[in-house]
Amino acid sequence: MVSPLKDDRRAGGPEEDFIRGHHKHDVGENQCSSSFVKHIKAPLPLVWSLVRIFDQPQRYKPLNYSSIITVHPEIIDGRPGTLVIESFVVDVPEGNTKDETCYFVEALIKCNLKSLADVSEHLAMQGQTDLIERF
């Protein structure tokens, strides 16, 4: 499940502690920001190795945004899992509203986190729990 923190677990918990400690953004007047959590049923080293594959900037970047992604070990259904938290701040382009811009970036992040979960969980189910090497 991926959901904005504002709609999920507002009262405490490890997610809130991690966000307070690692996901601080200075949000300007013409910017918006949000945080998302994703629980992935795959070990942290595997998930992190996939996250690191995407560390090269895209050649095409439609929006000027900054994001922070952190991964934290957890146990899900008695097995090693990973809590992934991604937060962002984005400039609102001229002619757009904060709501429109945040909605677009939130949809993009939800898609990326779902893809990360799908790939990680598939590899974990196949017994692939080692780091994914860059090729």
The pLDDT-based confidence of 78 (bands split at 50, 70, 90) is very high
Q: Answer whether residue 102 is part of any domain.
A: yes
Q: Answer whether residue 11 is part of any domain.
A: no
Q: Answer whether residue 10 is part of any domain.
A: no
Average pLDDT over all residues of the chain: 79
3-state secondary structure (DSSP) of residue 35: strand
Tens-digit pLDDT profile for residues 16-72: 888 878 888 888 888 888 888 899 999 998 888 877 765 544 433 456 778 899 999
Domain that includes residue 118, residue range: 29-130
The DSSP string of 64-84 is -EEEEEEEEEEEETTEEEEEE
Report how many domains make up the chain: 1
The pLDDT-based confidence of 9 (bands split at 50, 70, 90) is very low
**What b-and-e string marks burial along 36-59, b requiring 16 or more CB atoms within 10 Å of the CB?**
bbbebbbbbebbbbbbeeeeeeee
Q: Answer whether residue 14 is part of any domain.
A: no
Q: Answer whether residue 34 is part of any domain.
A: yes
Structure tokens at 91: 């400039």
The predicted structure's pLDDT at residue 36 = 85
CA angle 35, 1, 49 (to 5 degrees): 75
